[in-house]
Amino acid sequence: MTATTTVRSSPRPAPWRDVRVLRFVAQLTALIVTYLVVRFLWSNFVANTDEKNIDRDFGFLEQPANFNIQGSSFDRSNSVREAIGVGIKNTFASVIVGAPLALVLGTLIGIARLSKNWLLAKISAVFVELVRNTPPLIVIFVVNFALVLRLPVVADAWTPGGVFVVSNFRLAGPSIATHANAGLFNIVLVLAGLVALAVAVFRTRFSDRTGEPHRRVLWAGGTFLAISAVAYVALGGPHSVSLPRIDGRKVSGGFGTLAPYVALTGALTVYTASHIAEIVRGSILAVPGGQSEAAEAVALNGFQRYRYVVLPQAFRIAIPPVINQFLNYTKNTSLALAVAYAEITFIMVTVIGNGQPATQNIVVLMGTYLLFSLSISVLLNIVNRRLQLVGR
Amino acid sequence: MSDLGTGLSVQPPGLDAPMPVVIPPSRPTGPKPTPLEWVKTNLFSGIGNSLTTVVVGLFVAQIFIINLLELTRGNLTWGMLSGWLISNDYEILRDNLRLWMVGNYPRDELWRPVVAGWLAVATIGVVSGVLFRNAQQTAMQAGTEQSTSRPTDMIRRFWPLLLLIGIFLSLTRTITPLLITIAGVALLMGGRLAGKALPAPIRAYLWFMVLFGLGGYMAIMTGEPTMILAVLSAALAWSLALRFAPAELAAIPRTVLTLVGGIIVIRLGQLVGFGRFIEDLPRDVLDIFGASTGLAIHPMAVLVISVGILAAVTAQAYRSAATGASLARFSLGLIAAGVAFLVGRYFGDLLNTRTEIGVGGAGWDDWGGLHLNLLVAVVGIVVAFPFGLLLALGRRATKDRSDPRSTTLFAIGGAVVGAIVVTIFFGTAAAVRPLGLIDLPFPTVVGAIAGAALGAAIPLSRQSSLPVFWGISVTLIEFIRGVPLITLLFFGDKMLRFLFPKGWEPPSTVSRAMIVVTMFSAAYIAEIVRGGLQAVSKGQIEAAQAVGLPAPKVLRLIVLPQALRAVIPAMVGQAISLWKDTSLLSFISLLEILKVSEIANAQPDFRGSSLSDLTLVFVAVIFALISLTMSKESQRLETKLSVGRAQR
């Protein structure tokens, strides 16, 4: 038949058996129920807070905080909002130092666990199993009580190498002190960095064209150092090293951190490293064995085999769980309550203890953590999509 | 029959003959190395290797050597392990062992934890026996090797748990705990034998054995057997009725059966107290919508309406014989459950009044110590699992539509709209400096962020066939997973009672903690199950649809068994994580083991001596040994499951 006949679509089933109608009705019902539930909870909340004369707005953020925070220039008269700012800064300080450290440590331990040396493998295994199976709170307690609090007081602090100060209140190391022309020198450094980048690109193109080794690291690094050295001398020494000195019961100079910070960051680094070690070990084992055998067949030694064949494939598998562990690190900093380190949860608890309304505080606290988590989650999704092997 | 030319006669096995056992060949291994050879290959094979051995060996040795040296000098510096172990005084642990085990449970009711513990241990034994016998039968039918288990295997498998029990027993003062433990071990072994000996029809009801064990445990500990017995009997009757409903049942007019079943359910509801709920619900609903409350809705009207709906459903079911039969079975199940509920309540009342069980006992508000940690962990997994499953199914992406570009556009648009809307509603109070650059009102920033999230969700929700449920699931999951457990515990502790209406009694601290822990656990389980759902290949679903299975049956019979089997190791990992997180309950003043160590250290006998080390290590050891047991079981499950997959 060449005449085209319009094919009628099958007759629609009765509404109570039509999947599309049922879906619509179900979702509409869900929306109505959600609205009712939220309205119910909100009306209860309003009634209860009115009864107890508690404010429901965010005006408490402008009130003076009435407590001091160690280790910063915050004092009692600053507002609650600034206290929260200090808390966020402190949380960030712990994450930015601890997470990369945990990654490095965890990778090393994970590789050590797969070593051919039986002693090394077993010791790493014992360490990982022990730390992984302990709650992070207890790891923090152990590091705090057993290590940090046993350090000597500031007056008798250890000074390894004359460069560090190790005590149970403050731990300090050398830092950079700025003098005149420091700002100018920093700008020159940035310019030098850009020039070095240009040199590296130029050398790479040169190498592509002529086939000679580019040695771009040496060229770029040398350029950077040369420009910085000339600028340093020309500007009369704008930076110098400041070493920490014990000053009675305080430490002056240098770059100091409080003992609670060291306890928290150290404990969380060790804990997260044990998890990352397991992830790295699993991902290295997930690389097919044939890859290692092929690498040996083309005469790559052990280090080269890891660097060029195994680890690149292993990291593709490992990166999503590792980013998840960074997320866990961020959330575990909330346990700083145990060591009284002034990160955001501790500050919020103090603020609530000082009589500010609990609900808004907890909402702000959860909002801050949500912000951290969602940013890291978005990052994880982008990385995941880039690294995914396209499948069905 | 056929001679394969080898001179052997091969008979095809009859249908009732057992399959020949096929033992897979094992790989050839070389000769076992002598100790010297082993040391040479593993510790000193090359320069690098030898250097590593020397360095690590020295590091390990110096801990012990320095320990001993310091010990002889009578000096304990920090971090030294073995000297500390020997010289310590364990009185604090011995005196407070009861606190660590059961917290502040009433002293003269301590027989309850013991009997409940025996019941739990017997149930575990029976369940393990049943599982073993089931696995044996499956192996026999598949023709694979049956696993043998000897007592030494069990000891090697469970050594952390045995070590923990040994530590506890070494801290007791009388011989009673030892006798109790021996009786418990005897019950465990007896239960395992009984489980192996049970006939097959009873072995199919494994889930019920677990349920009965759990119910009995709760009944004995809380001293309120009535409700538990009633619910358990109803559940058992329901299951039995559904299983054994005769085929002739379909001939009985379905309307009648459904009506009777529906009436029994409603009557039961009134018994349990939903009667007032049925009276008040219409009034409350109308209240919320702001309508007049002059309308008095008689409960009989509600009854008639519900029965009418049931009748309409039944009338519809006449169209399909299969649905009619299942509806008839459903009604029979309802009737049986209702009757069993009443019978169970009667016997529960008898137990309550005539025996010791009903007198005394303590609700879980008074439980503490290790008992509380275990309770919260178990409830957190068991109760959270169905919720997590629902959330995962809600979030499941069934279609393949997602365009990153449109997501960004929607996010930006949503941010703008959100900022404007929130600023209109909440004004411009409380400026903040998000980037230290400019002053922005706090509500605007919040509105922008929330708007961006909601905007980004709209195109993403097209991946699911039910976008509203997807939205609800994603919101709940991401909110709960993005926040540390401690903040959720504070939320539960301080904020939850503001959300309850004025008349209701706020739940106790333990109940609040359990609600929060269940929510928390459900979100994580949802993500794990979602991963498992993604692991089931699309071909399975397409094949099921090709065979004509409706969507709920596809889910129940094809997708979920494969998905849940694939995520068992991850679920055990989540169980371990939850167990470790129960240590956080000390922050809301619950008497769990970390809090007990604080209390023990503050007692007048022990204050002043630096005994926080000992209690801290004690608590850490308890956590670590139980986690280690679960972790070893998880590894064992992983190897067992992957082997099974390879063989298929």
Q: How far apart are the C-alpha atoms of B313 and A153, rounded to whole Å?
A: 79
Structure tokens at A200: 């590296």
Which of A20-29, A289-298, A348-357, B4-13 has the largest mean confidence?
A: A289-298
pLDDT value of position B79: 44
Contacts 24+ apart (CB under 8 A), A88-91: A88/A344, A88/A368, A90/A261, A90/A341, A90/A342, A90/A343, A90/A344, A91/A330, A91/A333, A91/A343, A91/A344, A91/A372
Residue of chain A minimizing CA distance to B480: A370
pTM of this structure: 0.80
Residue A134 binned pLDDT confidence (cut-offs 50, 70, 90):
very high
| Closest residue to A116, CB basis, from B49, B404, B616 | B49
Neighbouring-strand partners of residue A240: A177
Structure tokens at A246: 């014990």
On whether the CB atoms of residues B474 and A370 are closer than 8 A, the answer is: no
Structure tokens at B570: 């991850």
Structure tokens at A3: 């005449």
Residue A63 binned pLDDT confidence (cut-offs 50, 70, 90):
confident
Structure tokens at A117: 């040396």
Number of Cβ within a 10 Å radius of residue B356: 13
Q: How far apart are the C-alpha atoms of B501 and B504, rounded to whole Å?
A: 6
Which one has a higher pLDDT value, B322 or A117? Answer: A117
Does the beta carbon of B466 lie under 8 angstroms from any beta carbon of chain A? yes
| Range of weakest confidence among A218-227, A259-268, B148-157 | B148-157
CB-CB under 8 Å, B42 with A118: yes
Side-chain half-sphere exposure of B438, counting CA atoms within 13 A = 4
CA of B433 to nearest chain A CA: how many angstroms apart?
A: 9
- What count of CB pairs under 8 Å joins A to B? 173
Which one has a higher pLDDT value, B610 or A343? Answer: A343
| Range of weakest confidence among A195-199, A216-220, B403-407 | B403-407
- From residue A11, how far is each of A8, A18, A155, B620, B641 by CA, in Å? 8, 11, 90, 67, 48
Site of tokens 């199940």? B333
Structure tokens at B195: 């489980």
pLDDT value of position B644: 39
- From residue B497, how far is each of A4, A58, B505, B508, B519 by CA, in Å? 69, 20, 9, 10, 16
CB-CB under 8 Å, B481 with A118: no
Which one has a higher pLDDT value, A301 or A389? Answer: A301
**What does pLDDT average to over chain A?**
82
Question: What value does the mean pLDDT take over residues A1-19?
Answer: 67
Question: What value does the mean pLDDT take over residues B122-134?
Answer: 89
Which one has a higher pLDDT value, B489 or B25? Answer: B489
CB-CB under 8 Å, A45 with B499: yes
CB-CB under 8 Å, B468 with A359: no
Residue of chain A minimizing CA distance to B628: A133
pLDDT at B75 over 60: no
CB-CB under 8 Å, B623 with A133: yes
Question: What value does the mean pLDDT take over residues B18-35?
Answer: 72
Q: How far apart are the C-alpha atoms of B339 and B350, rounded to whole Å?
A: 17
Residue B646 binned pLDDT confidence (cut-offs 50, 70, 90):
very low
CB-CB under 8 Å, A334 with B466: no
CB-CB under 8 Å, B612 with A36: no
| Range of weakest confidence among B84-88, B220-224, B404-408 | B84-88
CA of A10 to nearest chain B CA: how many angstroms apart?
A: 17
| Closest residue to B429, CB basis, from A49, A57, A119 | A57
CA of B228 to nearest chain A CA: how many angstroms apart?
A: 29
Q: Where are the beta strands (DSSP E) in B139-288?
A: none
Question: What value does the mean pLDDT take over residues B506-512?
Answer: 84
Site of tokens 């016997």? B347
CB-CB under 8 Å, B490 with A374: no
Question: Model confidence over B96-108: pLDDT tens digits?
Answer: 888 888 888 888 8
Does the beta carbon of A35 lie under 8 angstroms from any beta carbon of chain B? no
Q: pLDDT > 90: what percent of chain B?
A: 12
| Closest residue to A334, CB basis, from B60, B487, B624 | B487
Question: Model confidence over B438-480: pLDDT tens digits?
Answer: 556 666 777 787 788 888 878 777 778 888 898 899 889 989 9
Does the beta carbon of B479 lie under 8 angstroms from any beta carbon of chain A? yes
Give contacts of B487 with chain A, Cβ < 8 Å.
334, 345, 362, 365-366, 369
Most A-contacting residue of B320, B498, B527, B613 (CB-CB within 10 A), to test interface: B498
